[in-house]
């Protein structure tokens, strides 16, 4: 057991935890984005999707607890790595010098991560900790047809895209999937993942802002 604790508290162990939890969170985002595309088919499709999810009962509660644990692990390990890098300038250089060089995504990782955390808290207040006796369309519509919220959500999705663009790339690096011959392909896969996730969410925000009848 002590080898496990030791591995998890080492820099390499923490990188693996970030890669694994990041991969799972990326999976959640893809599923969440895909499920939310039911908005494109109108009020009835979106309400049916949410009702189907809620009908899963305790399975959903378990999934939420697992998701919360993964989020917490990712955030706590990320903050710990950030502080570790701040404290040791030499190792900071070693950790930051990735095979793909420095990008906007990699430079801003801790800050975009904290911004996403703030967004998620707001998002849960908007859509999760509300009276679920009313149809989900009536919960989402007033929020996303408000231009101020749309701006907030749109900006958050852009920040999410920046974070995820480096996140996917970083997962490959941490798992040792890194070769000069394939690095541009890996960079390309990271961008496709990022554009897919952020793109779907941004499309939903724009749709609800400009087409007020979509969920009517
Ligand atoms: C246009 C963008 C989005 C829309 C319309 C949307 C919609 C929703 C809705 C309706 C719920 C409540 C589900 C329910 O309880 O019935 C929800 C929950 C949630 N959303 Fe989003 N979401 C969006 C973007 C995001 C993003 C970008 C993230 C993460 C960065 C996210 C993370 C979550 C989480 C963690 C929950 C709680 C999951 C649960 O406990 O069941 N959402 N979202």
Query: What pLDDT does 100 receive?
Result: 55
Q: Is residue 152 part of a domain?
A: yes
Q: Is residue 215 part of a domain?
A: no
Ligand 1: atom nearest CA of 202 is: 1
Q: Is residue 108 part of a domain?
A: yes
Ligand 1 probe mutation, 123, 153, 155, 208, most atoms within 8 A of CB: 123
pLDDT digits (tens, 9 = 90+) for 147-185: 999 999 999 999 999 999 999 989 888 888 888 888 899
Number of structural domains (the chain) is: 1
pLDDT for residue 93 is more than 50: no
Compute the average pLDDT of residues 76-103: 71
Residue 202, ligand 1, Cβ within 6 A: no
Q: Give distance in angstroms: CA of 22 to centre of ligand 1.
A: 17
What DSSP string runs through the chain?
A: -HHHHHHHHSHHHHHHHHHHHHHHHHHHHHHHHHHHGGGGG-HHHHHHHHHHHHTTTHHHHHHHHHHHHHHHHHHHHHHHHHHHHHH-HHHHHHHH--TT---HHHHTHHHHHHHHHHHHHHHHHHHTSS-TTS-HHHHHHHHHTSHHHHHHHHHHHHHHHHHHHHHHHHHHHHTT---TTTHHHHHHHHHHHHHHHHHHHHHHHHHHHH-TTTT-
Q: Give distance in angstroms: CA of 123 to centre of ligand 1.
A: 7
CATH of the domain at 110: 1.20.1300
pLDDT digits (tens, 9 = 90+) for 26-60: 999 999 999 999 999 999 999 999 999 999 999 99
Q: Is residue 127 part of a domain?
A: yes
Q: Give distance in angstroms: CA of 60 to centre of ligand 1.
A: 13
**Which residue owns the Cα nearest ligand 1 atom 38?**
64
Find the domain containing 81 and state its range: 2-210
Enter the pTM of the model.
0.89
């Amino acid at each position: 057991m002590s080898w496990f604790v030791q591995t998890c508290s080492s820099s390499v162990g923490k990188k693996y935890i970030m890669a694994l939890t990041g991969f799972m969170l990326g999976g959640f985002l893809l599923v969440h984005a895909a499920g939310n595309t039911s908005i494109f088919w109108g009020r009835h499709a979106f309400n049916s999707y949410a009702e189907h999810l809620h009908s899963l009962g305790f399975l959903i509660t378990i999934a939420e607890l697992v998701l919360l644990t993964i989020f917490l692990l990712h955030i706590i390990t990320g903050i710990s790595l950030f502080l570790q890098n701040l404290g040791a300038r030499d190792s900071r250089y070693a950790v930051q010098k990735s095979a793909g060089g420095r990008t906007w995504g990699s430079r801003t990782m801790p800050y975009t991560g904290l911004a996403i955390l703030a967004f998620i808290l707001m998002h849960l207040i908007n859509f999760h900790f509300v009276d679920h006796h009313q149809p989900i369309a009536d919960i989402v519509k007033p929020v996303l047809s408000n231009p101020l919220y749309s701006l907030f959500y749109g900006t958050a999705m852009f920040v999410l895209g920046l974070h995820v663009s480096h996140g996917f790339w970083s997962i490959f690096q941490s798992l040792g999937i890194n070769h000069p011959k394939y690095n541009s392909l890996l960079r390309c896969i990271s961008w496709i993942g990022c554009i897919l996730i952020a793109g779907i969410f941004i499309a939903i925000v724009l749709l609800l802002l400009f087409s007020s009848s979509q969920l009517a």
